Structure 1
Amino acid sequence: MAEALLSLRGVETHIGRYHILHGVELDVPQGGLTMLLGRNGAGKTTTLRTIMGLWRASAGAVRFEGRDITRLATADVARLGIAYVPESMAIFADLTVQENLVLAARSGPPRAERLDRIFARFPALRRFWTLPAGLLSGGQKQMLAVARAIIEPRRLLLIDEPTKGLAPAIIANMIDAFRELKDGDTTLLVVEQNFAFARRLGDTVTVMDDGRTVHHDTMDAFAADQALQQRLLGLSMDTHQ
């Protein structure tokens, strides 16, 4: 397995009086795509938000490229080359597609070659370039959310349920785009409930339950063990498409 780009050791997170994460241990290998799986309420989204500094870890350590980033502000985490696509997508509905992408580019207007790569992955964004983002379909909004995250080169992408509510044709488009990203220089950590999507794209997998990480494996090994899937997820990846 490749060296870890991101690692969490003993991470605890409290939100108000609620204790959400209980000693999370996670390694995201350099390159490829790690799937973070688990039942609803297992703590997957909280893990992503804790990595980004949106919620502060109350104990433990988050390290990126060997550097402790546990106490960094979210903006400083982003400057290290980490981008986050939340389940809500968090696009600016009143701004055009173009304006959304320009705002996401820290170093000024996006370079033409970068835009060409994004349009190749998500052709709809070129078609609706001057349209307010709020008028896009759900799948197009998700494309825009991912495009905003990669408008500049990123070392690590954290993506929360990218296929939720999307039509099969849009999911197929997402699979192609994510495969191209992971085959490049970008490492991905993805929370997903669509197990067909997870199985096709995941290189490694971590399973969470009740705020804890309970299993780590290659995706091939995990996908081959239906009894383990049933025990950890309550269903089989073969029967849940």
Structure 2
Amino acid sequence: MTVDIAMSGVKVRYGPLEALHGVDLALPAATLTLLVGRNGSGRTSVLRALAGAVPVAAGTVRWRGEDVTRMRAHDRARRGLCFVPDERALYGTLTVAENLALAAPAGDPSAALEAYPALAVLLPRTAATLSGGEQRQLAVARALLAAGARPDPVVLVDEPVQAMSPEVAARTYGLLAGLARAGATVVAAEQRVPRALARPGVLVHELVRGRVAFSAEAVEPVAALLPRPSEGPGSSRSAARSEWPR
């Protein structure tokens, strides 16, 4: 596998609190990678550091061999990195159609509506009036459009199926896996490995207290990282809000 984006010895601090303690990660191209861990484990901070949304206190971030540690978030976005945070991922005062138009190549949102048909009837509504699951569909749909406009993009998604029904969550996991098969570097943060993604070719890194504790493919012996049958995407555990920082 060819490494697309990587971090070496990365530390992230929020004031006096150090959230990442020298994290090393190599994220391959055309692969779906999962960052799993409990609230406070550091998985969100890893995504933010990769996206340039938080400053790196120590260590380096390299993208296709180039040191981008000090590159600003909007410059990374212009180069093809798409970050979907778990909160404030949309423009709440804009309509669904307007949110999609910002990411749609040539203003064509058809790929997003094909991915999430339920968005079609919501096009005239403002994003702030949508339910939590609908907002998450719109956020991921925007990422799909942005990724489709770039060759070999990097897509970072924090808790992609938050507030979604099990059926829509399964669709979302399939869409993210499809992005990776099409050549994108996809990194998603979840509390546990979704059962829909427990298969060869999907990589898993478990974070514990700001460090990478375990890395493997999403097959056995990662059973301990799988949700129990009662912990589907809509369960209280999987929908629980994460504590800051993560």
The SS at the match of 2:140 is helix
Q: Which residue of 1 aligns with 2:38?
A: 39
Name whichever structure is richer in helix by fraction: 1
Q: Which residue of 1 aligns with 2:142?
A: 148
Structure 1: segments with no counterpart, 5+ residues = none
- Give, in whole Å, the separation in 1 of the partners of 2:162 and 2:102: 25
Task: Sort the Cα spacing of 1:237 and 1:141 in 2 relative to 1 into closer, same or farther, 3 A.
Answer: closer
User: Is the 1:32–1:188 Cα contact (8 Å) retained in structure 2?
Assistant: yes
Where do residues 81-96 of structure 1 align in structure 2 (5 Å cutoff)? 81-96=80-95
Q: From 127, 135, 138, give the equivalent of 2:129.
A: 135
- Give, in whole Å, the separation in 2 of the partners of 1:127 and 1:202: 36
Question: By how many angstroms is 1:175 displaced?
Answer: 2.3
Q: How many residues align?
A: 226
What percentage of residue pairs aligned between the two structures are identical?
34
Task: Sort the Cα spacing of 1:172 and 1:214 in 2 relative to 1 into closer, same or farther, 3 A.
Answer: same
Instruction: Give 2:133's aligned amino acid.
Output: G
State the TM-score, normalized to the length of structure 2: 0.84
Q: Which residue of 2 aligns with 1:122?
A: 116
- Give, in whole Å, the separation in 2 of the partners of 1:139 and 1:165: 5
Instruction: Give 2:155's aligned amino acid.
Output: L
Structure 2: segments with no counterpart, 5+ residues = 233-246
State the TM-score, normalized to the length of structure 1: 0.85
The SS at the match of 1:55 is coil
Structure 1 window deviating more from structure 2 (164-173 vs 55-64): it is 164-173
Where do residues 220-231 of structure 1 align in structure 2 (5 Å cutoff)? 220=219, 223-226=220-223, 229=224
Q: Which residue of 2 aligns with 1:184?
A: 182
1:80 aligns with 2:79: yes
Task: Sort the Cα spacing of 1:198 and 1:41 in 2 relative to 1 into closer, same or farther, 3 A.
Answer: farther
Question: By how many angstroms is 1:54 displaced?
Answer: 1.3
What's the C-alpha RMSD, in Å, of the aligned pairs? 2.1
Question: By how many angstroms is 1:225 displaced?
Answer: 4.4
The SS at the match of 1:172 is helix
Instruction: Give 2:138's aligned amino acid.
Output: L
User: Is the 1:35–1:189 Cα contact (8 Å) retained in structure 2?
Assistant: yes
Q: Which residue of 2 aligns with 1:174?
A: 172
- Give, in whole Å, the separation in 2 of the partners of 1:225 and 1:180: 22
Question: By how many angstroms is 1:238 displaced?
Answer: 5.4
Question: By how many angstroms is 1:101 displaced?
Answer: 1.8
Question: By how many angstroms is 1:14 displaced?
Answer: 1.1
Q: Which residue of 1 aligns with 2:9?
A: 10
User: Is the 2:136–2:163 Cα contact (8 Å) retained in structure 1?
Assistant: no
Structure 1 window deviating more from structure 2 (151-160 vs 68-77): it is 151-160
Q: Which residue of 2 aligns with 1:160?
A: 158
Instruction: Give 1:128's aligned amino acid.
Output: L
